[in-house]
Amino acid sequence: MSRTLLVTQKGCPGCEGVKDSLSGALASGEITEVPITSEKGEIIQDLLNIDWVPECVTENDDGSFTKCSLDDLIKKKGKK
């Protein structure tokens, strides 16, 4: 089963706003936060050429990663 990841960076104001909007999904484990400076974050950054955070990423069943729409994620999972 694929997993939704939120790639973030410490001190990023945009990241904090998105994390606040998605706090329920993050707390429940429906979305997993991945710091871009972590080992996994650096791998994702290199594979997907991530220049800006926050970024929505899907971790696929085969271990690959694809970018997803952060706007769509917030609309579906964000605070109402």
Domains observed in the chain:
3-77 (3.40.30.10)
Q: Render pLDDT for 37-61 as a digit per residue (tens, 0 to 9).
A: 999 999 999 999 999 999 999 999 9
Average model confidence (pLDDT) across the chain: 94
Contact 55, 7 (CB under 8 A): yes
DSSP 11: T
What is the Cα–Cα distance from 27 to 29, expressed in whole angstroms?
A: 6
What is the Cα–Cα distance from 64 to 56, expressed in whole angstroms?
A: 14
Helix axes 13-21, 70-77, angle to 10 degrees: 40
Confidence of residue 36 (pLDDT cuts 50, 70, 90): very high
Q: Is this prediction's pTM over 0.95?
A: no
